[in-house]
Amino acid sequence: MRYLTVALTKGRLARQTLDLFERCGIDTAGAMDKDTRKLIFTNEELGLRFFLAKGPDVPTYVYYGAADIGIVGRDTIIEENKKLYEVLDLGFGRCRMCVCGPASAKKYLDSGEMIRVATKYPAITKDYFLNKKHQTVEIIKLNGSIELAPIVGLSEVIVDIVETGSTLKANGLEVLDEVIPLSARMVVNQVSMKMENERISEIITRLRNELQKQNA
């Protein structure tokens, strides 16, 4: 039997995913163990393998077929824009992609004037401002601590993920507009879905049933 390979997003998302798999009765072969230096975990009985990767790399592994299944945030799926099947909303990792800034920056969004926007997600930002807001903006790509940008005057507003909003508050910023809601998704390689239809559908159905039980 060919192995089915699952790429997980390192960090909390991976732990929640592995937990979900375990609850469905799928043994994840010690991938939960934090102290291990192993990169790949094999469940011989079901022919399943798990590995951890950086979020933006998960769609890449799945697109090229190095992994058949990936678990990754919706923000990354949209930003990477690869041809994948997005089959299931796992419901956890819920947060929102928002336009944020000091309260005084709200007027820039209503006036439609040219502003600077700092973000880690240039594709989502571009789509939002050009196609939904019809506002011309200059997008500045940053790699972390996006909240800094309006404070030091690099940009008027930012587009970033907001979970609780406490980082924003501590820095005198607030949510000015919501771009899209986000959560963890399961993506599947388009070729694998056809070639391994039965095994992959079986996993999807088991996860879905567990999620429904949980919500009921």
Partner 1 sequence: MNNRVIHTPEGFRDLYGDTMKSKVKLMDSIRSVFDKYSYQNIETPTIEYFDVFSSDIGTTPTNELYKFFDRDGNTLVLRSDFTPSVARAVSMHFPEEAMPVRLCYEGSTFINSAELQGRLKESTQMGVELIGAESAEADAEIIALTCESILAAGIREFQVSVGEVDFFKAIAESTGLDFEKIENIRKLISNKNFFGVGELLDESGLDSGLKEALEKLPQLFGGAEIIDEAEKYAFGPREQRAIKRLRDIHALTKERGLDKYVSYDFGYLSKYNYYTGIIFSAVTLGTGEPIAKGGRYDSLLGNFGKDYPAVGVGIYIDQLMNAISRQGRAPLM
Contact residues for partner 1, defined by CB under 8 A: 40, 63-66, 83-89, 188-191, 193-195, 197, 201, 204, 208
- Residues 62 and 53: their CA atoms lie apart, in Å, by 11
Using the minimum distance from each CB to partner 1, give the nearer residue, 167 or 183: 183
Helix ranges (DSSP H) in 74-144? 74-80, 106-111, 122-127
Using the minimum distance from each CB to partner 1, give the nearer residue, 15 or 96: 96
Provide the minimum distance between the beta carbon of 91 and partner 1 in the complex, in angstroms, as a whole number.
Answer: 11
Compute CA distances 155 → 29, 125, 142, 148, whole Å: 46, 14, 11, 9
Provide the minimum distance between the beta carbon of 194 and partner 1 in the complex, in angstroms, as a whole number.
Answer: 5
Provide the minimum distance between the beta carbon of 33 and partner 1 in the complex, in angstroms, as a whole number.
Answer: 19
Which residue is listed with tokens 């771009």? Answer: 179
Using the minimum distance from each CB to partner 1, give the nearer residue, 169 or 194: 194
Provide the minimum distance between the beta carbon of 208 and partner 1 in the complex, in angstroms, as a whole number.
Answer: 7
Using the minimum distance from each CB to partner 1, give the nearer residue, 137 or 211: 211
DSSP class per residue in 153-188 = TS-SEEEEEESSSHHHHHTT-EEEEEEEEE-EEEEE
Cβ(162)–Cβ(120) below 8 Å = no
Provide the minimum distance between the beta carbon of 83 and partner 1 in the complex, in angstroms, as a whole number.
Answer: 7
DSSP bridge pairs for 69: 6, 188
